[in-house]
Amino acid sequence: MAQIGIIGLGVMGRPMAKNLAAAGHIVTGYRRDGSSDADLESAGVHTARSIADAASGADAVITILPDSPDVVEVALGSQGVFASAKPGLLYIDMSTISPQVAQQLATEGAGRGIKVLDAPVSGGEKGAIDASLSIMVGGDQEVFDEAAPILKALGTTIVRVGGSGAGQTVKAANQLIVAVNIQALAEAIVFLEASGVDSTLALEVLGGGLAGSTVLTRRGQSMLTRNFTPGFRIDLHHKDLGILTSAARAVGVPLPIGSAVAQLVASLRAQGGGSLDHTALLSLAELGAGRISSVSVASS
């Protein structure tokens, strides 16, 4: 049992906080708008009044926030996690941010006696709810070992992939693969429907062969029904692909397919689709095929 503060109670953070409490940890959650959450409180998650309240006295603090500036502000601000923590704090950032910022946090933490891991996740809202997330971790082995009981309450595939920043590098690769898979599935659905094939049956048989993927299994049906209620917003995937292209440029690696999909995500966002689920790339594929006249920004 550990005393854990979790900061960021959005689509992913809320179920993660519940799972930590269900695993027997003492969990205090902080929502940055300062609001309370009766559902979380009924699940045993205490409400913090501030970042400092969530961090002070905690054995571990988890952040899961939208972007690098958010994490820097929460971790390194004058009333932030690092300033409020007791010596020896285990700080686990599970956001998706740039590898360089993850390394900065590790360096700052080491100077203050704080043990830092970058541990971004994959699996979406369902993975967070089911505690079946894939967690890619960067940081020292001994810190990873210490964090293992906490991470096991959140995911089923938990791998230390290297030193500080490595987790974020692997997450960038994850976001490349997911985006390309969604775009390929979107194009396949448009092709199938234009050809008059029963798309539901088609996806069933495709899912059993080499074309099968987690994207197809988990998101195929919602794409067929054009339900783009956000589990992971276009705005966030746009941000993540920006991290990817910047990191790839830094190591001299071209990403021809990834760059093309990044442009499609940016296009959908520019047309007002930023708050839609990333599977709304299907709308752009339909538009390009002349099967719709404009992209709808309705979520379902």
Q: Which residues are catalytic?
A: 171
Closest CA to 299 of 230, 233, 236: 230
Taking alpha carbons only, the member of 95, 66, 91, 88 closest to residue 80 is: 91
Q: Name the residue among 161, 300, 179, 291 with its Cα closest to residue 228.
A: 300
Rounded CA separation 155/132 (Å): 4
Q: What are phi and psi of 291, to 5 degrees?
A: -95, -15
- 263 burial (CB, 10 Å; 0-12 / 13-18 / 19+) is exposed
Q: Supply 174's token pair.
A: 């994850």
For residues 83 and 154, what is the distance between their CA atoms, to the nearest angstrom? 26
* 8 Å CB contact between 98 and 168: yes
Instruction: Output the six-digit token pair for 96.
Output: 């998706």
Is residue 299 a contact partner of residue 283, using CB atoms and an 8 Å limit?
A: no
Q: Residues 77, 100, 92, CA angle at the centre, nearest 5°?
A: 60
**Single-letter amino acid, residue 79:** Q
